[in-house]
C-alpha cells in the first residue's frame, strides 16, 4: 500500500462524506417543506399542494442517496 493508494482512498471517503451531507440537507429541506413551517404557508396559497409535492420530491431524493450510499461508495472506489 503506497501513498498514492491511500491518497485516492482518502479522496473517495471525502466525496462520500460530502454526498452524505448533501443528502442530509435535502432530507431536512424536504421535511421543512413537507410538514414544517413552509407547509402551513403552502396550505394558504392557491397552489399550496405544489410546495408539499416539491418537498416530498426533495426528501425522496435525499433518502434515495442515503439508501444507495453503499453502491455509491463502491462506484467511487472503483472509479478512483
Beta carbons of 16 and 69 less than 8 angstroms apart: yes
Beta carbons of 50 and 42 less than 8 angstroms apart: yes
- The DSSP secondary-structure symbol of 80 reads -
For 11-23, how does the pLDDT look when each residue is reduced to its tens digit (9 = 90+)? 888 888 899 999 9
**How much is the CA Rg of the chain, to the nearest whole Å?**
18
Predicted pLDDT at 57: 93
Q: Is 71 helix (H, G, I), strand (E, B) or coil?
A: helix
For 26-60, how does the pLDDT look when each residue is reduced to its tens digit (9 = 90+)? 999 988 877 766 656 656 666 667 778 888 899 99
Predicted pLDDT at 79: 72
d(CA 19, CA 67): 12
Confidence band of 68 (pLDDT split at 50, 70, 90) = very high
Residue boundaries of the structural domains of the chain:
11-79
Amino acid at each position: 500500500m503506497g501513498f498514492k493508494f491511500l491518497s485516492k482512498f482518502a479522496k473517495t471517503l471525502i466525496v462520500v462524506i460530502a454526498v452524505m451531507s448533501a443528502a442530509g440537507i435535502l432530507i431536512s429541506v424536504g421535511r421543512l417543506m413537507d410538514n414544517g413551517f413552509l407547509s402551513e404557508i403552502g396550505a394558504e396559497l392557491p397552489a399550496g399542494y405544489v410546495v408539499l409535492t416539491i418537498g416530498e420530491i426533495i426528501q425522496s431524493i435525499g433518502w434515495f442517496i442515503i439508501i444507495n450510499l453503499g453502491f455509491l461508495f463502491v462506484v467511487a472506489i472503483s472509479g478512483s
